[in-house]
Amino acid sequence: AQKVTQAQTEISVVEKEDVTLDCVYETRDTTYYLFWYKQPPSGELVFLIRRNSFDEQNEISGRYSWNFQKSTSSFNFTITASQVVDSAVYFCALSEVAGANNLFFGTGTRLTVIP
């Protein structure tokens, strides 16, 4: 069975600090996909990134970076030089097949960036 654990319920940082959101997953499948979504107060889930289980390369997109480590079943998300607009709930999710199959979500991490 699939499981996604986000142990950090809430994190507060001061603007311009770096912050890392942790995600640990469990799956018996050898082929799977990992995702991060952002949910601002408006409620709409915003897609940030998708990684497949065969690609362990770290990825950087502007101030965002992701560290995928299969050995520890982790897919951590780092925001560099945080901004107030980064304040939101962030969800890590797992899918056995990208897109078309259902997503298993963690319970989310609420990030508050203090100006």
Partner 1 sequence: DAGVTQSPTHLIKTRGQQVTLRCSPKSGHDTVSWYQQALGQGPQFIFQYYEEEERQRGNFPDRFSGHQFPNYSSELNVNALLLGDSALYLCASSSQIYEQYFGPGTRLTVT
Locate the DSSP E strands across the chain: 3-5, 10-14, 19-21, 24-26, 33-39, 46-52, 59-61, 64-69, 74-79, 88-95, 104-105, 109-114
Q: Which is nearer to partner 1, 4 or 79 (CB)?
A: 4
Query: Binding residue for partner 1 (CB under 8 A) from 31, 72, 83, 102?
Result: 102
27 binds partner 1 (CB under 8 A): no
CA-based torsion, 40, 53, 17, 48: positive or negative: negative
Alpha carbons 69 and 63: distance in angstroms, whole number: 20
Does residue 64 belong to the site contacting partner 1 (CB under 8 A)?
no
Which of 37, 68, 75, 77 is in the footprint of partner 1 by CB under 8 A? 37
- Which CB atom, from 12 or from 31, has the smaller least distance to partner 1? 31
Residue in 11, 50, 67, 78 binding partner 1, rule: CB under 8 A: 50
63-67, Cβ contacts within 8 angstroms, sequence gap of 24 or more: 66/36
47 makes contact with partner 1 (CB under 8 A): yes
If one asks whether residue 57 binds partner 1 (CB under 8 A), the answer comes out as no
Binding partner 1 (rule: CB under 8 A), the pick from 30, 42, 57, 61 is 42
